[in-house]
Structure 1
Amino acid sequence: MPACVRRCVRPSETTTTTSGHARPLCRRLCGDPRQNPGISHQGDRTVKSAVETLNPTRVRLTVEVPFEELKDSLDAAYKKINQQVTVKGFRKGKIPARVIDQRFGRGAVLEEAVNDALPKLYTEAVNEAEISPLGQPEVDITELKDGETLNFTAEVDIRPTIEIPDYSGIEITVDAIEVTDEDVEKAVEELRGRFASTTPVERAAGDGDVITVDLEAKVDGEVLQDGVAEGVSYTIGSGELLDGIDEAVKGLEAGGEATFTSQLKGGSAAGKDAEVTVKVTAVAQRELPELDDDFAQLASEFDTLEELKADSRKRLTTMKQYDQATQAQERVLEELLKLVEIPMPEKLLEDEVNTRKHNLEHHQLGQMGLDLAKYLEIQGKSQEEFDTETQEAAVKGIKTQFILDELVSKEQLNVNQEELTEHLMRRAASSGMSPDQFAKAVVEGNQVQVLVGEVARGKALALVVESAKVVDTNGETVDMSDDEDETVEAAAETVESVVDGDEAKGEEKPGA
């Protein structure tokens, strides 16, 4: 639910503070008016409202409020001011209204009353107009006459009207699922490597050896504050450290050192070329266990090596099936978006672009020790290219949310407790929190409906994928209807990545 926003509007001539100085009227509007079903017209209401369409995604509400409609808010204003001020000769909270008017000005009371009444009056106007507002409105008090009337306007973005086309004709091609013997051998070798042992040796280091090194990085001749590390363990050939280190350390014995140039991947000088000095303090030979039934029993629950290999093939097939399903969802979504023309709310797009840039700069890149300039340098992008890409991604995210929300409504898709719980568990795992911690944070942040929306959009996308024709690169038809629960959750994850945005996707970084 959107946070409350305090916005000031043009002051009335009768609007004064308790010190007698003029002050703009301010008000707070919170949340989505559609989520306040308890507020509605009752009896013979005399509040008048009209809607003017400014463009397909923005409207202006004009509201005329007879002064008697402010009675409850005026009473509340006097009561609130009563609790805040002291007047000699009167007990706190028992100051007559006429005395408050005389001492502090009627304008102060009117300001408090209008601030109290505006959210309800705005919500009533929204409900009567049957519009779906997006974000906070821009409210302007156009007239406030004490004892007569309150008139105001509210401009707000709205969801555009969307016609869902026939999507059953979507056709896409995905990669075929192929697990080769080489894939299986590689997986078994990786498992074998986890059970390797090391034996210290007195010789020059070579491929596959495990060395212990001290590192020192300089940029422009100065040692970086975060450019010194000691006792680092590294397997030659693994590619897990700096580019160029393998060539530098090969042939060195314990006590030997070398200097090489490498572009730093992180830290205070990320993206810059550094002069790195590496000193080898120990060399150990890596010894792998024999590939036999004994290894299978050591490394797994299987009795034979053949059983272990068969399980590895099965796991690789499952992984490729998941990748294929994700690819299908992404490509179907791309085709679906091409079928629908959606006008874009300008203010919503501006806010989304700013949010994406803020999240990238202050969360993702901050945790990587990078700023935007260094990130763009590493990516080989100009500021203009980055701005264009961010804008395009924001447009895609908003359009995706609009069309899938419309599909949820059209197809009357509901989210049950089991689906919501499964989604919550996955989101908790990806955030590094326990399910209980994550659930508490969701409830306290009033984000339950956000999670429900994510699952519902996943169901909508899964529905479109199921109706699409999906073939692989071998020309074989791919059945996308298997295991509905996993399909929906995978689709929800695909939608989240598009709607939420992840500009640094693919970079080495902590989860944002």
Structure 2
Amino acid sequence: MKSAVENLSPTRAKLTVEVPFEELKPSLDAAYKKIAQQINVPGFRRGKVPPAVIDRQVGRGAVLDEAINEVLPAKYMEALQANSLEPLAQPEIEVTKFEDNQTLEFTAEVDIKPDFEVPAYDAVTAEVDDINVTDADVEEQLQALRERFGSLVDVERAAADGDFVTIDLVAAKEGETVEGGEVSGMSYKVGRGGMLDGLDEALVGMSAGEEKTFASQLVGGDLIGEDVDVTVKVTAVQEQQLPELDDEFAQMASEFDTVEELTADVRERLGRGKRLEQAAAARDAVLEALLEKTEIPLPETLVTDELNARRQNVEQQLVYAGLTMEKYLEDEGQTLEEFEADLERRVRDAVAAQFVLDAIAKAEEIGVDQNDLSQHLVMRAQQSGQDPQEFANHMFEHNHIPELVQEIVRGKALAQVVESAIVKDASGNVVELKNLRPDGSIGEPEEPTAEGDSASDEASEDTEAPTQA
């Protein structure tokens, strides 16, 4: 077999493949056997029909077509390997020349991984915001803890912000109650928001037994976004009484003896959480800095497919949240054009990042072992709220394991880049990332192994059959 490659663009190639007729012989034999099993010819047992009889009964052309359909995928893959091409999608294959007992010629156009120079990634620099736990942050957490132990007491007055009310709601359009637009006996905190526009404003000043009608828009159902008239009736008003923030409360609500110890613990936990947020920001900043040093031609087909997938995902999330695109854009302060431009920028960065991380993983020979895969499956199951075993079974049954392996490899590559990067906060302090634990605390540096590698490096590389990116 001979093959030649023509680069139609930096991300698309055209293969021209010539297959001598003698290399079709195994596929022809297989085609005759397959057809022999499918036809009935008097005087011959099924599967024992001679090729000459098949040619007369079915036609030589049908046999040749069957042989070509079998041989094309194998020869296409052989040509890819011979020309060191990595495909990104299914090819467009066309048989350009073929006659019986003559050379088979076909072309295959396909999107391929672009060829680019991987930038130096051993000392990328980036900057992130300082960790700043304010007194207001601590007070907010303590207030939330007090509210958990608070009690509701009926009051004989009009509702105000922060009160809890029991309400009945009826939504009507043109005088007719909307299907599914009635709610009775619902508890609601005035000022919480996130329900119907205008509800909080209507409730302030209302007392038990009063009702009011206001204009709003539906946030769910078949009439989502439709203008309706909403009648709200208050049946009870309650205020929340909170326990005093003192040593007695600290002992009741926590394992601490004093409010000072409780406050210190809250501040420490907030600091760990903000350290994790800072680490995530550092990861993004390092990756962004790396991409700024790289020029990668992107396959437009891949970008378009990813754009469409993300648009669909956003639309689904908006439906689940009971929002229209118009309402979402209004809340975000964006025009549709700005939303589309931002989405495309993020998609292009994401696609470029995949190529860069794949190249780094290949250069560093990063592999994946069974433990890596098991941990990743559990994590993904937890993120989606599914049973780990059921999630794993679904991934295996639908052949999604290669995608998960890619995720793991890219994650390892990014972690390696981030750990070798120089990240400082806005005050100029070096941000500790290598020894950061999952709970946000800083651990002790790992002892090097006899070979000079860290224990984590050894665990990553100790695989029976590493899977390369």
Offset of residue 136 of structure 1:
0.8
- CA–CA separation in structure 1 for the residues paired with 2:163 and 2:339: 42
SS in 1 for 2:111: strand
Task: Answer yes or no: is the 8 Å Cα contact 1:405–1:457 preserved in 2.
Answer: yes
Offset of residue 466 of structure 1:
2.8
- CA–CA separation in structure 1 for the residues paired with 2:59 and 2:92: 27
| TM alignment of 1:204-243, pairs within 5 A | 204-218=158-172, 223-243=177-197
- CA–CA separation in structure 2 for the residues paired with 1:197 and 1:413: 55
| TM alignment of 1:105-124, pairs within 5 A | 105-124=59-78
- CA–CA separation in structure 1 for the residues paired with 2:48 and 2:217: 73
Q: What is the letter of the counterpart of residue 394 of structure 1?
A: V
Task: Answer yes or no: is the 8 Å Cα contact 2:33–2:47 preserved in 1.
Answer: yes
Tell me whether 90-99 or 52-61 shows the greater mean CA deviation: 90-99
SS in 1 for 2:178: strand
Task: Give the structure 2 partner of residue 496 of structure 1.
Answer: none
The verdict on how the C-alpha distance between 1:283 and 1:319 changes in structure 2, with shifts beyond 3 A counting, is same
Task: Give the structure 2 partner of residue 3 of structure 1.
Answer: none
Offset of residue 256 of structure 1:
1.1
| TM alignment of 1:246-265, pairs within 5 A | 246-265=200-219
Task: Give the structure 2 partner of residue 472 of structure 1.
Answer: 425
What TM-score do you get using the length of structure 1 for normalisation? Answer: 0.78
- 1:357 equivalent to 2:311? Answer yes
Tell me whether 269-278 or 310-319 shows the greater mean CA deviation: 269-278
- CA–CA separation in structure 1 for the residues paired with 2:314 and 2:63: 44
Aligned length: 440
Aligned-residue CA RMSD in angstroms? 2.7
Task: Give the structure 1 partner of residue 403 of structure 2.
Answer: 450
Task: Give the structure 2 partner of residue 157 of structure 1.
Answer: 111
Q: What is the letter of the counterpart of residue 101 of structure 1?
A: D
- CA–CA separation in structure 1 for the residues paired with 2:438 and 2:115: 30
SS in 2 for 1:294: helix
- CA–CA separation in structure 2 for the residues paired with 1:215 and 1:81: 70
- 1:79 equivalent to 2:23? Answer no
Task: Answer yes or no: is the 8 Å Cα contact 1:296–1:304 preserved in 2.
Answer: yes
Tell me the alpha carbon deviations over residues 460-485 of structure 1, each in whole angstroms, 9 at most, x when there is no partner: 22233233332222333322222377
- 1:69 equivalent to 2:69? Answer no
Tell me whether 393-402 or 465-474 shows the greater mean CA deviation: 465-474
- CA–CA separation in structure 2 for the residues paired with 1:343 and 1:473: 33
| TM alignment of 1:339-358, pairs within 5 A | 339-358=293-312
Tell me the alpha carbon deviations over residues 116-140 of structure 1, each in whole angstroms, 9 at most, x when there is no partner: 1111111111111121111111100
The verdict on how the C-alpha distance between 1:83 and 1:344 changes in structure 2, with shifts beyond 3 A counting, is same
The verdict on how the C-alpha distance between 1:156 and 1:71 changes in structure 2, with shifts beyond 3 A counting, is same
Task: Give the structure 2 partner of residue 195 of structure 1.
Answer: 149
Task: Give the structure 2 partner of residue 177 of structure 1.
Answer: 131
Q: What is the letter of the counterpart of residue 87 of structure 2?
A: P
**Structure 2 residue aligned with 1:423, among 357, 369, 376?**
376
Offset of residue 242 of structure 1:
2.9
Q: What is the letter of the counterpart of residue 55 of structure 1?
A: S
Task: Give the structure 2 partner of residue 139 of structure 1.
Answer: 93
The verdict on how the C-alpha distance between 1:352 and 1:260 changes in structure 2, with shifts beyond 3 A counting, is same
Q: What is the letter of the counterpart of residue 424 of structure 1?
A: L
Structure 1, unaligned stretches of length 5 or more?
A: 1-46, 488-512
SS in 1 for 2:393: helix
Percent identity between the two aligned chains: 52
- 1:334 equivalent to 2:288? Answer yes
Task: Answer yes or no: is the 8 Å Cα contact 1:134–1:157 preserved in 2.
Answer: yes
SS in 1 for 2:406: helix
- CA–CA separation in structure 2 for the residues paired with 1:290 and 1:383: 49
Q: What is the letter of the counterpart of residue 469 of structure 1?
A: I
Task: Give the structure 2 partner of residue 43 of structure 1.
Answer: none
Tell me the alpha carbon deviations over residues 170-215 of structure 1, each in whole angstroms, 9 at most, x when there is no partner: 4332221121232212101101111222233444333332211111
Tell me the alpha carbon deviations over residues 317-346 of structure 1, each in whole angstroms, 9 at most, x when there is no partner: 111001111111112211211111111123
The verdict on how the C-alpha distance between 1:70 and 1:365 changes in structure 2, with shifts beyond 3 A counting, is farther
Structure 2, unaligned stretches of length 5 or more?
A: 441-469
| TM alignment of 1:47-62, pairs within 5 A | 47-62=1-16
